[in-house]
Chain A
Amino acid sequence: MKLKEVINKIFLIEIFKGLFLTLRMLFSKSVTIQYPFERREVYDGFRGRHALVRDPFTENDKCIGCMRCSTVCPSRCIYIKREKRENKMVVVDYIIDASRCIYCAYCVETCPVCALVLTEDYEYSSYKRKELIFNKEQLLKNWDDFASKWKDDFYFNKFWQPPGINPSRWPKTKREQKPIQLRKVVEIRKEEKNESNN
């Protein structure tokens, strides 16, 4: 044991081991993703830029103004303005302060109608703070941005449903949640298919 240590010390065995390790690393594949030219694959459950889902049929948002999202929000960054018009509650404006948001997605989990989504866009940094405070118009525009890039006609993310809770205890809306429809086109295509099948 003693002799071995002496030999190790004289012939710098440890240093040579290190040198061979780095030499092996020199010829192995590098892990760099060259960001502006290449992009990392976005995984399920990614929580990016906020968006209000635009219903392809009514061309408007789905929000019913139930206030659950602004109540559950831990950083209190959701502001909803509503008015009673003709015995009906109308959402006038819906504001999310993205600079204060912590991206916990509680608002998405709690929404009974799937009106709010954290999309997979993550490149929305800005030089002005004002541009990070999304109003209803901007939120709908965010959704359009995302929908135009999404290849499929439906969008669904299993992380929207409350995790760790038995599905039987979920609210009915969550249990019966369907993928969000992005385009009206889908229906037409289905009809076309049916026709061609016939």
Chain B
Amino acid sequence: MDTLYIIAITIIKTAVYFGILMLHVAYATYAERKVIGHIQLRLGPMVVGPHGILQPIADVIKLLLKEDIVPAKVDKAIFKAAPIISLTAALSTFAVIPVDKNWIIADINVGLLYVIGIAGIGTYGIIFSGWASNSKYAFLGGLRSAAQMVSYEVALGLSLVGVILMAESFNLTEIVNKQTEYWYGMFLFPQIIAYFVFVVAMLAETNRLPFDLPEAETELVAGYFVEYSGIRFSLFYLAEYLAMFCMSALATICFWGGWTAPPILIKTFPILEFVPGFVWFLIKVYFHIFLFFWLRGTLPRYRYDQLMAIGWKVLIPLALINIVVTSIVKYYY
């Protein structure tokens, strides 16, 4: 009876979480088009609803109604499985991400490892789709993605080691709680190098500009999902945006203090204590999402060898130095 109750509660929690997440993803596409549009002195979508507010719904309807094309010479089973792998991996990461105090589906003690591991599985979807599509563009996109993900996952993991050392835990809730012990309430300041490494690796991990080589429009048409259409195409799209949200949430929890506000801020303005935790969390996540769009509107795409050079010659040494310095400081104080 007790287990049944827990299962039922978890399913309800998951459903609510899923619904809110999907709404966020839908409106992230809208926000991206608006932000990029205004950066380029355009307006973005304006026709569907006031200021184009219903555009994501129109897009979803269009994608659902489109014909689902499976090219003749693809490996059908893998071709159909690839988007599902991508999406499942992207969705699964949110199970351990705490939105507020105790607002979490699964509070496991290796949360951080789980997120990094599951996010890595998403790469399989991309490689499979590239391989199964039987198309040179998709294949090149898939290969690039594999190489990029492998090299940047190292930097991403190493940048988080500094945070783990300071928090003395892999549990995401513990990491947030630990940050409130400092008067500035964030690991951002002591771990500024790790944060820089994390942000750059985050961009590369989610295949966003300036590191969007797997789907470089100008050279690979759309990269690994060229051959996809209709709902399968939208699953890849969904996975990409979910990965963006996942990485933003991770950055928020590990470096910006999650759902807590800096104690110094609350001490100076006591009224801020009444702001609910998830509001702080969402503000921080939205900032990171905006950062994705902002960087996309600013920077051009890097060349492939430059991408690899940044990953291996700059970010990984930086992260390693950060680990060593953090360890020494931790040992003596």
Binding site for B on A (CB under 8 A): 15, 18-19, 21-23, 25-32, 34
Contacts and interface: CB of A to CB of B under 8 A. Distances in A.
Contacts of A31: 41-42
A34 B46 CA distance: 9
B303 interface: no
- Interface size range on B against A: 10 to 19
Given A22-B39, A22-B298, A31-B42, 16 more contacts: A15-B298, A15-B299, A19-B295, A23-B294, A25-B38, A25-B41, A26-B35, A26-B38, A26-B297, A27-B38, A28-B41, A29-B41, A30-B37, A30-B41, A30-B42, A31-B41
Contacts of A21: 298
A31 B40 CA distance: 9
Nearest to A27: B38
B102 to A, nearest CB: 37
B299 A30 contact: no
A23 B297 CA distance: 9
B221 interface: no
A30 B131 CA distance: 42
Contact of B39 (A26, A29, A34): A26
Contact of A18 (B37, B46, B299): B299
6 contacts: A18-B298, A18-B299, A26-B39, A26-B297, A30-B38, A30-B41
Interface of B: 35, 37-43, 46, 294-295, 297-299
Contacts of A28: 41
Contacts of B35: 26
Contacts of A15: 298-299
Nearest to B196: A12
Given A19-B294, A34-B46, A25 B40 contact: yes
A19 B298 contact: yes
A30 B41 CA distance: 4
B46 A22 contact: no
A101 to B, nearest CB: 32
A30 B43 contact: yes
A26 B39 CA distance: 4
A34 B37 CA distance: 13
A26 B38 CA distance: 5
A15 B46 CA distance: 30
Q: For A21, A22, A31, A34, which residue has the most chain B Cβ atoms within 10 angstroms?
A: A22
Contacts of B299: 15, 18
When A and B form their complex, which 7 residue pairs have the shortest distance between CB atoms, in order from nearest? A32-B43, A22-B298, A18-B298, A22-B39, A30-B41, A31-B41, A26-B38
Q: For A18, A26, A30, A31, which residue has the most chain B Cβ atoms within 10 angstroms?
A: A26
A34 B294 contact: no
A34 B297 CA distance: 22
Nearest to A31: B41
Contacts of B39: 22, 25-26
A170 to B, nearest CB: 44
Contacts of B42: 30-32
A25 B294 CA distance: 11
A26 B296 CA distance: 13
Contacts of B40: 25
A26 B34 CA distance: 10
A180 B298 CA distance: 52
Nearest to A36: B47
A81 B320 CA distance: 87
A148 B148 CA distance: 63
Contacts of B43: 30, 32, 34
Contacts of B297: 22, 26
